[in-house]
Chain A
Amino acid sequence: MRIVLLSSIVPFINGGARFIVEWLEEKLIEAGHQVERFYLPFTDDPNEILHQIAAWRLMDLTQWCDRVICFRPPAYVVDHPNKVLWFIHHIRTFYDLWDTPYRGMPDDAEHRAIRDNLRALDTRAIAESRAVFTNSQVVADRLKAFNGLDATPLYPPIYQPERFTHEGYGDEIVAISRLEPHKRQALMIEAMQYVKTPVKLRLAGTASSPEYGRQLIKMTRDLGLQDRVILEDRWISEDEKAQMLKTALAVAYLPKDEDSYGYPSLEGAHARKAIVTTTDSGGVLELVEHGRNGLISEPDPRDLAQQFDRLHADRQAVAAMGQASMDRLTEMKIDWGTVVERLTS
């Protein structure tokens, strides 16, 4: 099949939104398809949004390919009789973030008009598609709530999961991701002052701002936790990541209200580790079941400390949860074979 992958980008900004497209491209080619990827620039500046979407709407790919797979907004407005969506998120400021401090624009007649137009045209364009998949249940629920449309979660796997292996359980709870406030590394450090076992915490990743990086270092020092908290504010290569996870006791991933389960959880699961998360982490809760493949804590340092201790104290339970982590991926069909099959059927 000739397949066009279409998504929007901000030029020179790389990240997860591109990776998922490029990983899928590789897998589709492996499956014998002809694939062409198009990234077109898009800015979500409210004053520029509607005429840009009108431009995307004029695009007609009908004669060029058998199917279009659309990702970030507004790729799905393009004209093609066979469009399939792997919907990652809305332009959230006009949806679930509208009634929050993150709206970033005035709640006045003009902006409400833009919002209502956007929602109406999203609903119409998404409804034209042959199938709508989302990257999580959270996003599927949002499509239902705001656009009245049904969608099926199609969980994104990580790239080359076989890189992650398992070599027993050491003392470290490992949390590898960007260091940023909403990923709550600070909460994990705070928890470490209350643990009773010799459990350790390793936080690794690039800080989103130098300020937050410094803050975490200072916090570790002020609480006298230098010997129990290992903090690495730098880019972690994929090899290093695999190395750190191999002998970890468990992984921790507790973002504040995230849409999807997050790649750090999956990486942990492939390394057969239990996943520690919190009750308000959003999509991670689709993956983690308390006591089975991980532990779900209150977003509170004392409670989190107890979960850390519980893991360190019972290696047998840790091993069982690690295996269950891996099994959970099979259960949820988080693998590239499933993704390719569903997006091309």
Chain B
Amino acid sequence: MKVLVVNNAAPFQRGGAEELADHLVRRLNATPGVQSELVRVPFTWEPAERLIEEMLIARGLRLPNVDRVIGLKFPAYLIPHHDKVLWLLHQFRQAYDLSEAGQSHLDFDETGRSVKAAIRAADNACFADCRRIYCNSPVTQNRLMKFNGVASEVLYPPLNDGELFTGGDYGDYVFAGGRVAAGKRQHLLIEALALLPNGPRLIIAGPPENEAYADRLRRLVEDLGLKDRVDLRFGFHPRKDIARWANNALACAYLPFDEDSVGYVTMEAFAAGKPVLTVTDSGGLLEIVSEDTGAVADPTPAALAEALDRLTSDRGRALSRGETARDLWRNKNVTWEATVRRLLD
């Protein structure tokens, strides 16, 4: 079976979605009887009326010599094909939830509102023709139902290198991986730690979104006198290093604001058998992070400090919640084998 994966591309930019698409193609090619290739369509989303042309591009293209299409993003998934499966990472959010939240560039004027209506119409027509629709998380799934009235199944993107997250010793530190950004609120973690003089150490490792936030964290550590207890490792790190930090941590922490999905950082922690500390407004994580598999606190330094203490002051409790996290994740069977099987169904 010839399986074509179609995705958008902003030329010269790469992120998680690109990694996922490449990995999906590799896994498909490793499946007996399957040949796979990725097609990336350059995408320009501004100004608003440009989106009409982008949709026309997708609708005008043809996919010869292909048995099955797996579409990942708008508008690339609009390319016509008789056997199309969608694996939605997200919709074009400016036409949906971001518009509802008053954060969309499509709500400034009449043109924008027309474009928004056109996007919804094109989406609805496409969804009606798909063989099957999967979403990467319940958040995406709920939005699709709410805005388009379309039912779908959740298909979590597995870790691309899950074999690295084997678990290990339970050390004396909490590991906070992922992008370092105001929206991921690493500053809250540092502030919470300051309230626990006998608490654990903290390692923060990841690429900073901007230098200003990195500076803010450096100053905070300095001002709170936490230099001995907080290790700031800004930058891109080899995956092996990330895995080592996660595998030997006592617990992991991840405090994004209203994330769409469970998130790779959470999946990695669960795979490694580590309990996860998060906050009540972290969104998609709350599907799996609870007081059974970690700790959930209000997004304030005091509440976080209390949760951190609850989670780490008793090693036995941390270990048992970590075990529960690992079991829960295993039982979800989020593996590439199962994922490929469902996409080819």
Contact = CB atoms under 8 A, between A and B. Distances in A.
Interface of A: 2, 4, 10-13, 34, 36, 38-43, 45, 48, 51-52, 54-56, 58-61, 63-65
B57 A55 contact: yes
B333 interface: no
Contacts of B61: 40-41, 52, 55
B281 interface: no
A11 B4 contact: yes
Nearest to B12: A36
Interface string B1-44: 01010000111100000000000000000000001010111101
A11 B79 CA distance: 14
B56 A55 contact: yes
Contacts of B4: 11, 41
A41 B12 contact: no
A60 B11 contact: no
Which bucket holds chain B's interface residue count?
A: 20 to 34
A156 to B, nearest CB: 24
Given A55-B56, A59-B57, A43 B11 contact: no
B64 A10 contact: yes
Most buried by B among A43, A54, A58, A61: A58
Contact of A41 (B10, B54, B59, B63): B63
A13 B65 CA distance: 9
Interface string B56-84: 11111111111000000000000000000
B129 interface: no
Given A12-B66, A65-B11, A65-B12, 14 more contacts: A11-B64, A12-B65, A36-B12, A40-B39, A42-B64, A43-B64, A48-B62, A52-B62, A55-B60, A58-B56, A58-B57, A59-B42, A61-B11, A64-B44
B56 to A, nearest CB: 6
Nearest to A41: B63
B298 interface: no
12 contacts: A11-B4, A11-B66, A36-B12, A39-B39, A40-B39, A40-B61, A41-B63, A41-B64, A54-B60, A58-B57, A64-B12, A65-B11
Contacts of B44: 60, 63-64
B49 interface: no
A36 B11 contact: yes
Contact of B37 (A11, A42, A45): A11
B100 interface: no
Nearest to B66: A11
Contacts of A13: 65
Contacts of B57: 55-56, 58-59
Contacts of A34: 12
